[in-house]
Amino acid sequence: CSAGWESYDDNCYSLIKTDALTWMEAEGQCKEWGAHLVSILSQNEMDFIHDLLVQNEVFNTGTYIGLTDTDEEGIWRWVDSGQKAIYSYWEVRQNTYSEPDGSFLENCAVILLSSLRGHRSWRDVPC
């Protein structure tokens, strides 16, 4: 991988801290680098990304991932491949209240980290 990028399982990852962007702006910035917002296809990959966020102390702020249901409400797809998400890590609260919960108002996904591994960390947000 290039400088500033970290490798995991044949892919390259970079955590970018910016001022507030829309999801589309963030994806556009990634494309300029020949990349996409991240897709996360397994728990192992999620664990790697969790560690990357912890190392960079990214708490209490959302980090966009490449997951959106803009094209078809309720059908979450990865932006790089267009594939439906099979693996997911949506937050669950009190067994009765789960993400994604924003319906048509929230069509893009972030990781919002607690310090605890095992705390499911994906939330849907406005794009």
The residues binding Ca ion (CB under 5 A) are 69, 107
Residue 10: strand, helix, or coil: coil
Calculate ∠ Cα 21-6-126, nearest 5°.
Answer: 20
> Which of 14, 70 has the CB closer to Ca ion?
70
Q: CB of 108: closest distance to Ca ion in angstroms?
A: 8
Q: Which is nearer to Ca ion, 18 or 97 (CB)?
A: 97
d(CA 127, CA 70): 9
Would you say 39 or 124 has its CB closer to Ca ion? Answer: 124
Q: How far is the CB of 104 from Ca ion (least distance, A)?
A: 6
CB 39 within 8 A of CB 81: yes
- Could you tell me the smallest distance in angstroms from the CB atom of residue 26 to Ca ion? 17
